């Protein structure tokens, strides 16, 4: 199983606080752009600050919004999300230098990456009579 995972998923070994700090520095310096491949509802619920939303199911329509002169770090729902791997492959096929982050937005926030919305489900309240 491990060989299968390593054959299909091209992931960094692990994401830690130091790696997230470096990613944040590179995004701020304009060297890297984050691309959120998740559906609109998930992006709206919370995403890393500055991430470009390019949902995987409409990725081709969003390619022009992704700077071709920067390294692209794409993400979706987490380490073994097939959508992230396929989206990263499609970004590369479009000529972009793309890497699969191999982590969820919540994982980034846990290590101190700033967010542009709360990364938690909306509160459900009961209707009053």
| Helix-then-strand count for the chain, H and E | 6, 4
Q: How many CA atoms lie within 13 A of 89 on its CB side?
A: 9
Selected catalytic residue, list 15, 76, 98, 119: 76
Nearest to 67 by CA among 95, 93, 38: 95
- Name 98's bridge partners: 72
Q: Is 76 considered catalytic here?
A: yes
**DSSP H helical ranges for 53-120:** 59-62, 82-93, 105-110
Report angle CA 75, 17, 45 to the nearest 5 degrees. Answer: 40
Give yes or no for a contact between 107 and 122, defined as CB atoms under 8 angstroms apart.
no
Residues involved in catalysis = 76
């Amino acid at each position: 199983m491990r060989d299968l995972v390593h054959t299909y998923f091209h992931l960094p070994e692990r994401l830690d606080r130091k790696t997230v700090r470096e990613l944040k520095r590179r995004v701020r310096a304009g060297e890297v752009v984050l691309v959120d491949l998740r559906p609109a509802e998930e992006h709206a619920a919370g995403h890393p600050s500055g991430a470009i939303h390019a949902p995987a199911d409409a990725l081709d329509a969003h390619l022009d919004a992704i700077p071709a002169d920067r390294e692209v770090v794409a993400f979706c729902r987490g380490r073994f999300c097939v959508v992230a791997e396929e989206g990263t492959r499609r970004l590369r096929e479009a000529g972009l230098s793309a890497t699969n982050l191999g982590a969820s937005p919540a994982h980034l926030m846990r290590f101190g990456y700033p967010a542009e919305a709360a990364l938690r489900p909306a509160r459900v309240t009961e209707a009053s009579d």
